[in-house]
Amino acid sequence: MNKRTFIKTTLVGIAAIFVPHRSKALEYYPRPSDKKWAVLYSTWCGSARDAGVWISEGMDGIANVFDVRENPDLSRYDYVIVGGAIRAGRVSQEMQDYLSRNREILKTRLRGYFAVCGNMMQPVTPEVTARLIDKHLAVICGVTGIPSKVFLGRITFGLMEPDVREQMQKMPGIKEYDNLKRDECMAFGKEVLAATSKHKPT
Ligand SMILES: Cc1cc2nc3c(=O)[nH]c(=O)nc-3n(C[C@H](O)[C@H](O)[C@H](O)COP(=O)(O)O)c2cc1C
């Protein structure tokens, strides 16, 4: 390496250290579609993220999938599905705040709701769906009459915040489980797609 090249290389190297790189959130690259779809989820331990990705997979991967903590601008999308993990009967505060803040944007775009919960490992009944979707997510968003689904999720102690894990492990009879089903999530994605061509939300 001659002296000039050495100096140039060194300067470029130093510049690279000091010029901040714009960090970019994880993006799922949707497949081409005539409409732009997004799935927005909130999660603590990842089951609702997997549900969101699998819902998109059921739609042949045409939806971009966002964690609510990315605070995405969903006005760029034609249709949106929102959902999240449940703790103490609610989706995360971040999700509740996001939905309230973006009510106007979501009003015309919402096409589906989902929730992921433990439900004490019992099958999901219409009462559970009413509690988590109709009386919770739909109330915050102010949109009804669109497909909705409650999925059973997972408990993984190692992914919990230490204080939460400690509390959970003290609960009698509690154990790790995995009840989230990819085929159910995919079927919901297909259901939303099919309904969107037929129904208008109220
Ligand atoms: C602290 C805590 C509170 C929970 N509260 C509820 C609840 O109120 N109702 C319910 O059905 N499931 C509840 N669950 C179970 C979660 O909804 C379930 O584990 C879900 O899969 C978590 O989703 P995530 O992995 O996306 O965070 C709770 C779990 C934890 C750890």
* Residue 55: predicted pLDDT: 97
Question: How many whole angstroms from 149 Cα to the centroid of ligand 1?
Answer: 16
Q: What is the chain's Cα-based Rg?
A: 21
List, for residues 123-143, the tens digit of each pLDDT value.
Answer: 999 999 999 999 999 999 999
Q: Are 157 and 169 spatial neighbours (Cβ–Cβ below 8 Å)? A: yes
* Residue 131: predicted pLDDT: 98
Average pLDDT over residues 153-181: 94
C-alpha span between 202 and 23 (Å, rounded) = 39
Q: Does residue 114 carry a pLDDT above 80?
A: yes
C-alpha span between 148 and 52 (Å, rounded) = 13
Question: How many whole angstroms from 150 Cα to the centroid of ligand 1?
Answer: 12
* Residue 26: predicted pLDDT: 55
Q: Does residue 147 carry a pLDDT above 80?
A: yes
* Residue 45: predicted pLDDT: 98
Residue 67: closest CA among 98, 29, 90, 112:
98
Q: Are 118 and 171 spatial neighbours (Cβ–Cβ below 8 Å)? A: no
Is the CB of 117 within 6 Å of ligand 1?
yes
List, for residues 179-199, the tens digit of each pLDDT value.
Answer: 999 999 999 999 999 999 875
Q: Which of 55, 68, 86 to mutate to test the pocket of ligand 1 (most atoms within 8 A of CB)?
A: 86
Per-residue pLDDT band for 5 (boundaries 50, 70, 90) equals low
Question: How many whole angstroms from 142 Cα to the centroid of ligand 1?
Answer: 24
Least reliable range by pLDDT among 29-43, 73-87, 150-164: 29-43
Measure the CA dihedral 188/27/97/112, to 10°. -20
Domain boundaries, the chain: 36-196
Is the CB of 1 within 6 Å of ligand 1?
no
Q: Does residue 201 carry a pLDDT above 70?
A: no
Which parts of 19-161 fold into alpha helices (H)?
47-58, 93-101, 103-107, 126-129, 138-141
Is the CB of 44 within 6 Å of ligand 1?
yes
* Residue 25: predicted pLDDT: 47
Sequence letter at residue 86: I
* Residue 6: predicted pLDDT: 64
Q: Are 124 and 143 spatial neighbours (Cβ–Cβ below 8 Å)? A: no
DSSP E strands, the chain: 37-42, 63-67, 79-85, 110-117, 148-152, 154-155, 177-178
By three-state DSSP, how is residue 197 classified? coil
C-alpha span between 101 and 99 (Å, rounded) = 5
Apex CA 40: angle with CA 36 and CA 41, to 5°? 155
Nearest ligand 1 atom to alpha carbon 128 = 11
CATH architecture classification, 36-196: 3-Layer(aba) Sandwich (3.40)
Least reliable range by pLDDT among 23-32, 56-65, 104-113: 23-32
Average pLDDT over residues 66-88: 97
Is the CB of 118 within 6 Å of ligand 1?
yes
